[in-house]
Amino acid sequence: MSITMEQIQADMRRASGSQPKYEGANVRFFYEYPEDKKKTEETGLYSVKEVLSVSIQWPGCDETVVRAEDSHKYEYPRQWAAFQAAQEPPLEGTPLAEWAKMPRAVTLELAHYGIKSMEQLAGLSDAGKQKIGPLQKWCKEAQVVLDSVNSDSAKVAALTLQLERQTKRANQLEEQIGALMRRIESVEGVRLDEEIVEPKANRKSKLRENLES
């Protein structure tokens, strides 16, 4: 593949320490499938074509979708690699999904506006704050947390945040296990907690019998 002028410009930005063209925005690659009108007219059958596209959305702004060019792949290699591996694009900063204090519903609502990390939330523009309305109260709370991480008590704050993450994950895992146990119980018609406890009691009884004999 030949080197394009846009790729050369991207290299020049890197070499000069300049930020990428869409620095700070959420960038993801995906396929769109618009109607192939020419083929539809030729065949008389509805046809679509596969178009590689890129979504660009700054926090608090509307999403912009354009046809992906080689320059996009070249300038955002991590996002392109994630797309090729069928993974979510990498996120810079601390994911809001790992902030135990924030309800899941709020996380999803903010994600709709392209706000996915604590850093994006804390640094949201005035226009962005107006767009998310009452949710902007979380901007100050996110800033407080980030300030505490950068203060002298950074280690304590980091451990607290890590504990919140682990607690949230443990609670989610416990809910999943509980749901699985209830599903098995409804199918098998048994209580799993009894099945787990009873064998231990039987083993103790057999051991006592062997010792007495």
User: CA dist 93 to 55, 97, 119, Å?
Assistant: 19, 12, 6
Helices (H), 56-136: 70-75, 77-84, 104-112, 118-122, 126-132
Chain segment 141-182, per-residue pLDDT in tens: 999 988 877 765 566 766 777 888 888 888 888 888 888 888
What pLDDT band is residue 1 in, cutting at 50, 70 and 90? very low
Which residues contact residue 154 at a Cβ distance below 8 angstroms, ignoring those fewer than 6 apart? 148
Chain segment 39-73, per-residue pLDDT in tens: 999 999 999 999 999 999 999 988 999 999 999 99
Q: What's this model's pTM, rounded to 2 decimal places?
A: 0.56
DSSP state of 44: S
